[in-house]
Amino acid sequence: MKTIAIVSGGIDSVTMLHHLVADKRYDVVCAVTMDYGQRHRREIDAAKHHADLLGVPHRIVDFGAFGASVGSALTDETVDVPYGHFESDIMKCTVVPNRNMVLIATAAAVAIATGAEAVAYAAHSGDHAIYPDCRPAFVDAMRQALMVADWQPIRLIAPFVDMDKTAIARIGLGLGIDYDTTWSCYEGGDTHCGKCGTCVERIEALEGAKCTK
Amino acid sequence: MKTIAIVSGGIDSVTMLHHLVADKRYDVVCAVTMDYGQRHRREIDAAKHHADLLGVPHRIVDFGAFGASVGSALTDETVDVPYGHFESDIMKCTVVPNRNMVLIATAAAVAIATGAEAVAYAAHSGDHAIYPDCRPAFVDAMRQALMVADWQPIRLIAPFVDMDKTAIARIGLGLGIDYDTTWSCYEGGDTHCGKCGTCVERIEALEGAKCTK
């Protein structure tokens, strides 16, 4: 099945890309990264690195105007990034409004334009508490919408929607992914800050996924 | 209900804007026009004109990169615009891939960012044959997705989804809209060409809607 993979460059989406390429049911024809005015470019570079590694064409869609229009802690230099865990209210301000619907709609447009049959994104259960657009109810509704939006039904694939980040990292380590070449930090530094919500989740997942035998 | 109206500048969306402003259940806090690299600016100017006329703030979201990414007869200068009726296969190439899902997702992002509760778009029955993303099944699926995409449920309003363009023009003439200040032509000329699909539909609707007593 010709598939467009939405890849941000973090653990979840990079693992999904490797996972889909390894699964022969899928023919990943394009990895799409949305540039919505992130404060750092490391994430986009990481996405491109893994697409190149796997021989998957990589396309960046420029959503700078979108980021500028709606604003958020992720794109607005004046807003401090809160430290802590995703499951706390304080992290809500890191949410780009309606991000996954915009990303999925855009990737589906690329799918329709290129004759692909599916769009994949890396929603997972660790994000259910804080991001409504990572939950099964959202996936189900978007799946239905994508079946009727165009003459060509587009399938929505969310392979990790009932899986946590540690399980994702287990799959990735099994696939031999070098996670040092992924990027998840909300800060714009040269190395992962180790303190922001996404860094804390990243460390926990990689620690938890270590092979024990 | 605080509402974001998607307004392209043609008969349907301009009529919807006037209709929502006239209906006291709605508080239209913003008219959003997507600039997805259209070949002409008349459409965007028309949208702004009617928003200004009604005292509704107008916002243009720059989707030039989106148009450039996916291409279509509407945005690609090298593709001829076919003449004829919307209900013929030849018109399919005027469809921007997945346009309404992208527009609705973006308008919903603006709604979430600004605290609005609803998004409105002007799908109508005359487009059902050619545009799947104007059909009730698509509206229903997107309505469900928008109820669960964010902490704040967003309502999707499609007041004309079971109404044809002639009925829309009747409402508009009743509201006193000057349709000379709307723009629907796919060609980039100074006046409506009168021959492209959208011009033919426009003329039929305005003729059909004329008050007979």
ipTM score: 0.83
- CA distances A212 to A121, A164, A180, A200, A207, Å, are 29, 18, 20, 21, 11
Q: Which amino acid is at B89?
A: D
Across chain A, what does the average pLDDT equal?
A: 84
- Sort out which chain B residues have CB atoms less than 8 A from A63's CB and list them: 65-66
The winner for highest mean pLDDT among A73-87, A90-104, B85-99, B148-162 is B148-162
Arithmetic mean of pLDDT, A13-37: 93
Question: B173: number of CA atoms within 13 Å, CB side?
Answer: 14
User: Comparing C-alpha atoms, which of A188, A148, A143 is closest to residue A161?
Assistant: A143
Residue B8 has pLDDT above 70, yes or no: yes
Question: How far is residue B53's CA from residue A69's CA, in Å, rounded to a whole number?
Answer: 23
Q: Which residue has the tokens 């060409």?
A: B193
Top-confidence residue, B64 or A2: A2
Window from A77-81, A100-104, B38-42 with minimum mean pLDDT: A77-81
To the nearest whole angstrom, how far is the Cα of B136 from the nearest Cα of chain A? 10
Please state, rounded to an integer, the average pLDDT across all residues of chain B: 84
- How far does the CA of residue B6 sit from the closest CA of chain A (Å)? 15
Lowest mean pLDDT among A67-76, A122-131, B171-180: A67-76
Per the DSSP assignment, residues forming a β-bridge with A62 are A35
A110-119 tens-digit pLDDT: 898 888 999 9
Looking at CA atoms only, how far is residue A211 from chain B in angstroms? 36
Interface list for A 149-168 with B (CB within 8 A): 149-151
Residues A66, B106: C-beta atoms closer than 8 Å: yes
Alpha-carbon span A109 to B189, nearest angstrom: 28
Architecture label for domain B2-208: 3-Layer(aba) Sandwich (3.40)
What mean pLDDT do residues B80-104 have? 59
Phi then psi dihedrals of residue B29, to 5 deg: -90, -15
Question: Which residue of chain B is at minimal alpha-carbon distance from A149?
Answer: B133
Give the per-residue pLDDT at B122: 97
The answer, yes or no, to whether residue A34 has pLDDT greater than 80, is yes
Model pTM? 0.85
Chain-centroid distance of CA A47 in Å reads 10
Q: Which of B23, B109, B174 is nearest to A97 (CA)?
A: B109
Contact at CB, B62 and A62, closer than 8 angstroms: no
Of B97, B113, B133, the CB nearest to A71: B113
* Spatial contact of B91 and B82, defined as CB atoms under 8 Å apart: yes
Side-by-side strand order, sheet with A118-120: A58-62, A27-35, A2-6, A118-120, A155-157
Q: What is the mean pLDDT of residues A187-191?
A: 75
Q: What is the pLDDT of residue B196?
A: 84
Q: SS3 for A28? A: strand
User: What is the pLDDT at residue A185?
Assistant: 78
Instruction: Return the closest-CA partner of residue A170 out of A194, A205, A198, A200.
Output: A205
A135 touches chain B (CB under 8 A): yes
Least confident of A44-53, A164-173, A197-206: A197-206
Q: Which residues contact A41 (CB under 8 A, 6 or more apart)?
A: none
- Closest among A76, A80, A130 to A100, alpha carbons compared: A130
Q: What angle is formed at CA A41 by the lines to CA A40 and CA A43, rounded to 5 degrees?
A: 95
A33 touches chain B (CB under 8 A): no
Q: Please report, for chain A, the start and end positions of each structural domain, with discontinuous segments joined by +.
A: 2-208
> Looking at chain A, which residue has its C-alpha nearest residue B60?
A69
Residue percentage of chain A with pLDDT more than 70: 81
Using the structure block, give the residue that is written with the tokens 């006037």: B18
